[in-house]
Chain A
Amino acid sequence: SQTIHQWPATLVQPVGSPLSLECTVEGTSNPNLYWYRQAAGRGLQLLFYSVGIGQISSEVPQNLSASRPQDRQFILSSKKLLLSDSGFYLCAWSVLDRASAEAFFGQGTRLTVV
């Protein structure tokens, strides 16, 4: 069965520090991978998605970047965190099949920038 791992679960970082959140998927090959941010009381905002190794698409301009160094690994990074980067970050995967395309999520990372 497929599983998705996301870490760390919580993170407190000072303004201006770097960030690296990691997500890995097991039990599937060539998944679509996604990074979302969730603001309190609002829907999820898609930040990045990837359809393959080294292929990253960004949905919103921001202080963050993403990389996919391996088929089942997706990393969210920042060189210098801003206070506005605080939030709940979720990694997700789906199979690139238009009909089914069910999305599965990790447990999320609560990032607090202080």
Chain B
Amino acid sequence: KQEVTQIPAALSVPEGENLVLNCSFTDSAIYNLQWFRQDPGKGLTSLLLIQSSQREQTSGRLNASLDKSSGRSTLYIAASQPGDSATYLCAVRPTRSNYQLIWGAGTKLIIKP
């Protein structure tokens, strides 16, 4: 059974720092992994999608990597800003049930001005 874990559950850092959020999954049989951002009381915004054949994806100050064999992904945020404060969720799409996403519980990120 696929399980997704995100560590840490919460993170607070000063503005301007570079930071890394972690996502691990137990079954490497995935089509892709997706990172989302969720602001309080809001829906999810897709940040980056990494296909299983890819190693990383970049969008602006965000870079996501994928090591499928070890079951790990990281989301790197460069030069963090207070506007980056949100909960970050990762989800994998297993090959055994491609309609489904398996979710981590999220990392709540606070960037202090």
* Chain A residues within CB distance 8 Å of chain B: 6, 32, 41-44, 46, 49, 51, 57, 59, 88, 90, 92, 98-108, 110
Question: Taking A43-B4, A43-B104, A103-B91 as contacts, is the C-beta distance between A90 and B31 under 8 angstroms?
Answer: no
Q: Give the dominant DSSP class at B's interface.
A: strand
Chain A min CB distance to B19 (Å): 21
* Chain B residues within CB distance 8 Å of chain A: 4, 31-32, 34, 36, 41-46, 49, 51, 89, 91, 93, 95, 98-101, 103-106
Chain A min CB distance to B46 (Å): 6
Residue of A nearest to B3 (CB): A43
What number of residue pairs across chains A and B have CB atoms under 8 A from each other? 59
Residue of B nearest to A44 (CB): B103
Residues of A within 8 A of B36 (CB): 105
Across the interface, do B98 and A102 meet the contact criterion of CB distance under 8 Å?
no
Question: Taking A6-B43, A99-B51, A107-B43 as contacts, is the C-beta distance between A43 and B98 under 8 angstroms?
Answer: no
Residue of A nearest to B42 (CB): A107
Residue of A nearest to B48 (CB): A102
Residues of A within 8 A of B34 (CB): 102-103
Partner of B46, one of A90, A104, A108: A104
Across the interface, do B99 and A51 meet the contact criterion of CB distance under 8 Å?
yes
Across the interface, do B103 and A105 meet the contact criterion of CB distance under 8 Å?
no
Q: Pick 11 A–B contacts, CB within 8 A, sort by A.
A: A44-B101, A46-B100, A46-B101, A88-B41, A98-B95, A98-B98, A99-B32, A100-B32, A100-B51, A105-B36, A105-B44
Across the interface, do B89 and A102 meet the contact criterion of CB distance under 8 Å?
no
Rounded to whole angstroms, the CA-CA distance of A103 and B101 in the bound complex is 9
Residues of A within 8 A of B89 (CB): 43-44
Residues of A within 8 A of B101 (CB): 44, 46, 103
